[in-house]
Structure formats: structure tokens, C-alpha cells
């Protein structure tokens, strides 16, 4: 896409034609010059967008004492333009050690995810200078092709998509349009705070670079396009490799197959795999840790590599990726009458009872002693239905290939003090329904199968 010295609604319309047909465009409207120009230009195209509704969404991060005033300003401007405006307030206050920019961005995108309905498009006012700054930031962070590709013009997102139709337009051209149209916008003082990395680049680093190299922003935008092409090639290779190294279970790779790839292809397919699972990508150092400590670990070890928002674990010949597991108090005991669904702690899902015939738990067990749900403490034994002897639960889990970190999270159904079922796996011979008897199975929604 060629860069633009000027900006007009007709240029915007041409760009929008490359996006999918959508029932609604949401403008991410901060109230600043860029988003106001995008909103104003889009409204002027109403007659050409007869099948697409236009609306604005303003995120109030609650970080400025003026945030309420800004929300009112945005609502008033939208009212003048005849555009509905959704104001969403989020908690973007960072905790100790957190990046304020990252926390605000995460809060903003969570709101966008909840907002978008099927097929709707979210238009953002990022422009060519924003793109150049992003490339420079990613370069200074040591990013690879995924980071240096910066922001795409179009990308699927949530139930719809995100479009950045101004990505080839300069900041100067956008401001010129706004001034010519007599628009009133907000100048957020935090945009001039050089304590933030992007602001420091924008106000202290980029101006001298542009003086020396006037085509600075165009050049870095071109770098982003080249890196996006490189990423596409890397992804094409990763798709082929993933087919060879992925286990039948989603989110699991076969270590022995991974080790058949060279080191660069291992890193490439692991990054692609994590993106497919919507997990944050590890740093280069952490990725090296995964290769050294997880892929090359002893077969009987259970290594764990963690970074913010994700973790990789190995068990036997399998590599697992997941979000950090919520804390679980395994000493808890939950009473259950089987008549109502039972919600489990630590996001482990829900248990429900279902009547069946000829298998499951004998239905009259509920009249014997109180039923409770507990979690593994160690030392439990069970004689699974159909077997002659009892076995240590640890051995049964090993036999079934259940990874160690999952074993303490499997609900155990007790009748009085006796272990009656390991939900999703085995039923005790003592409590199992026989052929012709009415039975009950425990359905574990969101965490397992049936018992």
C-alpha cells in the first residue's frame, strides 16, 4: 500500500473495500485527533456504506482526573455526528512492577473482545508514524519477524476483525484533514510524558532521525511489510512441521518428533504452536530454556518453564502448553447430593449426575453414607471395576498417562470414608452398578469425562 501525502474520505473508502463486508464498523474513539478524523471521514461515507452501521466505542481507562470529562466530550462529538457512542470504563491501574502501557492495552482489548459481535469490524486510527514507532520499539526489544511485522492493516479478531485503514497515512496528513474540517479533539497530556517508551521515541528519538532521514517513517513501514512476508513464510513452514510433531490431543507436541527438527525450526514451530493456542510468546531467552530444559530433559523428569501468562510442561514424550494453573486447595471437602450440579473450585468445571442402566455407580449408594468430593492427598488406593485387586492411585494415573500436575486436580468421589470413583477415570468395584441395575454416571463438564 502506497504512503499518502494527503488524506480524504475517498481514500478511506478504497481501503475499506479490501476488508470483509460487515454489519457494523466500531471506531476505537479516544477523542484524539487521529481517531476523530477517522470517525469524521467514515461518517461522511454513510451514503456509500448503506448496509453497514457506524458506531464509536470510547474506553475510559480511569487513569486521568479528566477521564470523565473526556468521555462526555466523545459522547457529545458523536451526538453531533449522529453516531451512537458506547463508553466503557475499565480498570487499567497497574500493580507494582507492571507496565502501565501494557496494563492499559490489555484492559482495552478485553473490552473490545466483549464488544464485538459476529462479523463486526473494529477500526483503529493507527497511522504510518505509529507503525514506524512500533517497528523501532520492537527492534529495541530484540523482536523477530512477528514483532517487526508490527501492526497489520487487517487481522481477524474475536468474533470479527480489526482494521487499520490509516496505516499508510502520515500523522501530518491526518492533522491537516482535522484542521481543515474544523474538528475539536482532546490532547491527552500523558502523550507527552517521556517516561513512557513510545512517547520517548516519538518526542526525543524520532525527530532527529527524521531530520537526517526524511523518509524514516516510510522506510520503517516498508520494513514492517517485509517482515510480515517473512513471518508468512515462517508460518507456512510451521504449519507443515506442526502436522508432523503434534500429538492427537490439542495443545500437545511429541518431543521425539520435535527433536528431529533443527534448532531454528524447533523455535519456529513452538512459537507458531503457542500463537495457535492464544498464549503469549516467550522471550528468546525463555525459548532457549524450553529447548534446553524441556526438550532435552531426561525422559522421567517433569520440567516446567514459565513466563508471564503461560507455561510449558513436559511429561514423558509429550510437551504441554497452557495458561498458569489456578491455585487449588486440595484439602477442601465438598458435600454433594448428586441432585444438583456441583461447581468445582479453581476453574475445574462442574459435576452433574446422570441416570443410566447397567454401568456407573449403583444408584442406591446415595442412601448408604454421605457423598463428598475431595482431591488427592497421596496414598489413596482403588480397585477399579472389573479388576481383581486394589492399586495405588498414583500407579493408576501413571498407567493412564495422566500428567503429574493434573492428578491433584481430578475430583475424587467418596462414599463416607471410602473412595468410590475417580471422576473421569474409574469406579470402585465395590460401588459399581452391575448388568441390569440402575446406575449413575458423574459427568465432569469443563474438566474431564464420565464416571
Could you tell me if 67 and 189 are in contact, meaning their C-beta atoms sit under 8 angstroms apart?
Answer: no
The pLDDT score that the predictor gives to residue 1 is: 46
- At which of 224, 256, 276 does a domain end? 224
- At which of 298, 322, 346 does a domain end? 322
The pLDDT score that the predictor gives to residue 191 is: 86
Domain count, the chain: 3
Closest CA to 316 of 425, 401, 373: 401
Structural domain includes residue 232: no
Q: Is residue 161 domain-shared with residue 268, that is, in the same domain?
A: no
pLDDT digits 0-9 by tens, 156-178: 999 999 999 999 999 999 999 99
Q: Is residue 216 domain-shared with residue 266, that is, in the same domain?
A: no
Structural domain includes residue 329: no
Cα 372–chain centre separation: 35
Q: pLDDT band for 98, please (50, 70, 90 cuts).
A: confident
CATH number at residue 299: 1.20.59.20
Q: Is residue 260 domain-shared with residue 367, that is, in the same domain?
A: no
Q: Is residue 32 domain-shared with residue 129, that is, in the same domain?
A: yes
pLDDT digits 0-9 by tens, 106-128: 999 999 999 999 999 999 999 99
Structural domain includes residue 293: yes
- At which of 288, 322, 356 does a domain end? 322
Strand partners, 215: none
Strand segments, DSSP code E, in 15-173 are: 24-28, 53-60, 85-89, 121-123, 154-157, 160-163
What is the rounded CA–CA span in Å between residue 449 and residue 349? Answer: 11
Grid cell listed for 24 = 457494523
Per-residue DSSP letter, 163: E
Structural domain includes residue 363: yes
Q: Is residue 32 domain-shared with residue 118, that is, in the same domain?
A: yes
Q: Is residue 315 domain-shared with residue 387, that is, in the same domain?
A: no
pTM of the predicted model, to two decimals? 0.76
Structural domain includes residue 1: no
Could you tell me if 174 and 128 are in contact, meaning their C-beta atoms sit under 8 angstroms apart?
Answer: no
pLDDT of residue 225 exceeding 90: yes
Structural domain includes residue 172: yes
Mean pLDDT, residues 293-321 taken together: 93
- What value does the mean pLDDT of the chain take? 93
Q: Is residue 357 domain-shared with residue 305, that is, in the same domain?
A: no
pLDDT digits 0-9 by tens, 357-416: 989 998 776 667 889 999 999 999 999 999 999 999 999 999 999 999 999 999 999 999
Structural domain includes residue 48: yes
pLDDT digits 0-9 by tens, 313-353: 999 999 999 999 999 999 999 999 898 999 999 999 999 99
pLDDT digits 0-9 by tens, 60-86: 998 888 999 999 999 999 999 999 999
Q: Is residue 154 domain-shared with residue 301, that is, in the same domain?
A: no
pLDDT digits 0-9 by tens, 3-42: 456 899 999 999 999 999 999 999 999 999 999 999 999 9
The pLDDT score that the predictor gives to residue 2 is: 45
Q: Is residue 213 domain-shared with residue 266, that is, in the same domain?
A: no
Q: Is residue 217 domain-shared with residue 68, that is, in the same domain?
A: yes
Q: Is residue 356 domain-shared with residue 381, that is, in the same domain?
A: yes
Q: Is residue 380 domain-shared with residue 318, that is, in the same domain?
A: no
pLDDT of residue 102 exceeding 90: no
CATH number at residue 54: 3.40.50.620
The pLDDT score that the predictor gives to residue 369 is: 83
Structural domain includes residue 59: yes
- Structural domain boundaries, residue 267: 246-322
Mean pLDDT, residues 282-291 taken together: 94
Lowest mean pLDDT segment, chosen from 54-58, 194-198, 293-297: 194-198
Amino acid at each position: 500500500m502506497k504512503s499518502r501525502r494527503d488524506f480524504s474520505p475517498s481514500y478511506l473508502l478504497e481501503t475499506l473495500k479490501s476488508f470483509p463486508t460487515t454489519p457494523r464498523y466500531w471506531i476505537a474513539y479516544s477523542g484524539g485527533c487521529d481517531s476523530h478524523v477517522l470517525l469524521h471521514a467514515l461518517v461522511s461515507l454513510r451514503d456509500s456504506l448503506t448496509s453497514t452501521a457506524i458506531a464509536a466505542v470510547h474506553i475510559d481507562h480511569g487513569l486521568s482526573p479528566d477521564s470523565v470529562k473526556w468521555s462526555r466530550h466523545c459522547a457529545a462529538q458523536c451526538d453531533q455526528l449522529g453516531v451512537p457512542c458506547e463508553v466503557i470504563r475499565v480498570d487499567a491501574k497497574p500493580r507494582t512492577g507492571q507496565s502501565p502501557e501494557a496494563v492499559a492495552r490489555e484492559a482495552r482489548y478485553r473490552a473490545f473482545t466483549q464488544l464485538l459481535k459476529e462479523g463486526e469490524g473494529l477500526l483503529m486510527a493507527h497511522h504510518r508514524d505509529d507503525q514506524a514507532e512500533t517497528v523501532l520499539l520492537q527492534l529495541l526489544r530484540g523482536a523477530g519477524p512477528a514483532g517487526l511485522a508490527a501492526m497489520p492493516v487487517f487481522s481477524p479478531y474475536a468474533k470479527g476483525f480489526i482494521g487499520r485503514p490509516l496505516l499508510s497515512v502520515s500523522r501530518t496528513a491526518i492533522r491537516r484533514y482535522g484542521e481543515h474540517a474544523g474538528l475539536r479533539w482532546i490532547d491527552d497530556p500523558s502523550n507527552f510524558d517521556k517516561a513512557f517508551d513510545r512517547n520517548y521515541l516519538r518526542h526525543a528519538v524520532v525527530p532527529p532521525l527524521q531530520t537526517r532521514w526524511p523518509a524514516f517513517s516510510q522506510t520503517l513501514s516498508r520494513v514492517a511489510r517485509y517482515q510480515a512476508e517473512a513471518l508468512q513464510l515462517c508460518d507456512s513452514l510451521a504449519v507443515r512441521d506442526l502436522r508432523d510433531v503434534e500429538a492427537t490431543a490439542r495443545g500437545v507436541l511429541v518431543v521425539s518428533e520435535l527433536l528431529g527438527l533443527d534448532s531454528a525450526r524447533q523455535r519456529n514451530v513452538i512459537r507458531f504452536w503457542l500463537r495457535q493456542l492464544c498464549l503469549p510468546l516467550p522471550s528468546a531467552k525463555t525459548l532457549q530454556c524450553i529447548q534446553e530444559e524441556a526438550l532435552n530433559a531426561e525422559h522421567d523428569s517433569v520440567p516446567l518453564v514459565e513466563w508471564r501468562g503461560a507455561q510449558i510442561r513436559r511429561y514423558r514424550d509429550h510437551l504441554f502448553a497452557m495458561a498458569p494453573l489456578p491455585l487449588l486447595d486440595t484439602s477442601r471437602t465438598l458435600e454433594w447430593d448428586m441432585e444438583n450440579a456441583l461447581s468445582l473450585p479453581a476453574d475445574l468445571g462442574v459435576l452433574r449426575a446422570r441416570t443410566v442402566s447397567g454401568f456407573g455407580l449403583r444408584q442406591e449408594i446415595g442412601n448408604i453414607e454421605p457423598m463428598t468430593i475431595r482431591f488427592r492427598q497421596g496414598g489413596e488406593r482403588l480397585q477399579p471395576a472389573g479388576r481383581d485387586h486394589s492399586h495405588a492411585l498414583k500407579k493408576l494415573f501413571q498407567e493412564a498417562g495422566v500428567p503429574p500436575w493434573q492428578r491433584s486436580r481430578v475430583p475424587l468421589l467418596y462414599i463416607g470414608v471410602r473412595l468410590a470413583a475417580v471422576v473421569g477415570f474409574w469406579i470402585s468395584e465395590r460401588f459399581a452398578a452391575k448388568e441390569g441395575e440402575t446406575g449413575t454416571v458423574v459427568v465432569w463438564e469443563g474438566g474431564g469425562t464420565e464416571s
